[in-house]
Amino acid sequence: GARRPDDGRRRAPAPEWVRADFADLTDADAWRPLLEGVDAVVNCVGVLQDGAGDSTSIAHERGPRALIAACEAAGVRRLVHVSAVGADDDAGTAYARSKRVTETLLEASRLDWAVVRPSLVVARGVFGGTALIRALAAFPGFIPVVGGDQAFRPVAMADVCEVVVRLLAPGAPARVRLDLAGPQSLTLADLLRAYRGWLGFAPAPVVGVPALLAAPALAIGDLLGRLGWPSPLRTTSLRQMNHDVGGDADAAERLLGLRTRSLDQHLSEQAAAVQDRWHARLYFVRPLAIALLSVFWIGTGLVTFGPGWKGAVAILHEGGYGAVAPWIAGGGAVVDIALGLALLVRRFTARAAIGMALVTAGYLVAATLTLPQYWLDPLGPWLKTLPGLALCLFVAATDERR
């Protein structure tokens, strides 16, 4: 089940995919067609923080409440819920409180439920916090970190999946909560050093970032999340890390006979490829590219309407556009500003970047036909657009988040 099953079907064609968006499934009746012929349900839905398109209430309370009621009505007895270590009221976050609500709803139900509460989950593919960890580990020259002494017991995604599979087997333990963690206890600083080595970069010192300096970045992350740019650089992430991300290293072996692998084992099983190094190094470059492109396009439009108006019209007259020169200058400025603003809207970013590339190519064709001499200008007004064109293509090509 996925919000965008077509995307999943292209990447993994073997399973049967259905559309299942919790935002549309807050009533038990809505679940009925999805549960026909189903013997068990695994719920992996979760969001870090409220924002554009994300709701902790829907993901952790209203959606699960409807799902549990629907399972009871349809006779689906088994429900395995993937929660998280530290999902309790003491964490002081809406994420933890609402995650705990899901567990409470299960405990009050008639289902044969099981709750899996993993510590930090590590996998070859990364998203969210684990992507940030790789990016920080790959930072040039040094490794920045807020705190650094937070304790983790990373657990491999393969072990999380194996636990879920074992909990779905006949005779598996029911009505249990399982804190799932790896055997290796590491501080955040240790984790960053391990990933830097795995990525193949030379060792670098870990440099602590004072909380006062980190606070503005987290506030910006919270704001961007509400605008549709979810990021692990948010207050919830830091609070959860400072609260509890450890877990019980022996619980899976006691309950299911599974010995989880250490981070060293996990990393040794999958050597880093060039794609991993690129992703880690480009993690901070991409938002910088988006910000600079937006500033450049909005700025050129505003300059054209302001102090650069006479110059812009004069150049167009030089190119032989005559009476329509002011209209071309004004229209071009409007397009520049519109594309610069659209780039900042998450769902339009890739299309805006492609639009910028096409508009740039159009500018260059028209400029070459009417003002070819500027290709030889020592300040390079036409040549300088080529790196901008490449940057637009970079932003468009790296739009995928997961």
Task: Name the region of 141 (left: φ>0; alpha: ψ -120 to 50; beta: rest).
Answer: left
Of the candidates 107, 128, 146, the residue with the CA atom closest to the CA atom of residue 54: 128
- CA 292 → CA 63, 106, 116, 286, distances in Å? 39, 48, 42, 10
Task: Let me know how long the chain is.
Answer: 402
Among 99, 118, 137, the domain boundary falls at 118
Cα first-last separation, the chain = 16
- 10-residue mean pLDDT profile of the chain (402 residues): values are 91 93 92 94 86 80 93 94 80 77 92 92 84 91 85 91 95 92 90 94 90 73 71 63 65 89 92 93 93 96 95 92 93 96 92 97 94 91 93 94 74
Of the candidates 233, 331, 246, 240, the residue with the CA atom closest to the CA atom of residue 283: 233
Task: Give the C-alpha separation, 116 to 12, whole Å.
Answer: 24
Residue 124 resides in a domain: no
Residue 374 resides in a domain: yes
Task: Give the C-alpha separation, 121 to 128, whole Å.
Answer: 11
The total number of structural domains that make up the chain: 2
Q: Are 182 and 262 in contact (CB under 8 A)?
A: yes
Task: Give the C-alpha separation, 90 to 69, whole Å.
Answer: 28
Residue 197 resides in a domain: no
Cα four-point dihedral sign 52, 57, 59, 60: positive
Residue 347 resides in a domain: yes
Of the candidates 298, 42, 303, the residue with the CA atom closest to the CA atom of residue 163: 42
Of the candidates 45, 41, 170, the residue with the CA atom closest to the CA atom of residue 113: 41
Residue 402 resides in a domain: no
pLDDT of residue 239: 62
Task: Give the C-alpha separation, 260 to 178, whole Å.
Answer: 13
Among 72, 96, 118, the domain boundary falls at 118
Domain with residue 1: its CATH number is: 3.40.50.720
Residue 348 resides in a domain: yes
Residue 276 resides in a domain: no
Q: Which domain holds residue 295?
A: 287-397
The single-letter DSSP state of residue 323 is G
Please state the pTM of the whole predicted model. Answer: 0.84
pLDDT of residue 216: 76
pLDDT of residue 28: 93
Among 76, 96, 118, the domain boundary falls at 118
pLDDT of residue 212: 75
Q: What's the token pair of residue 68? A: 């549990």
Residue 125 resides in a domain: no
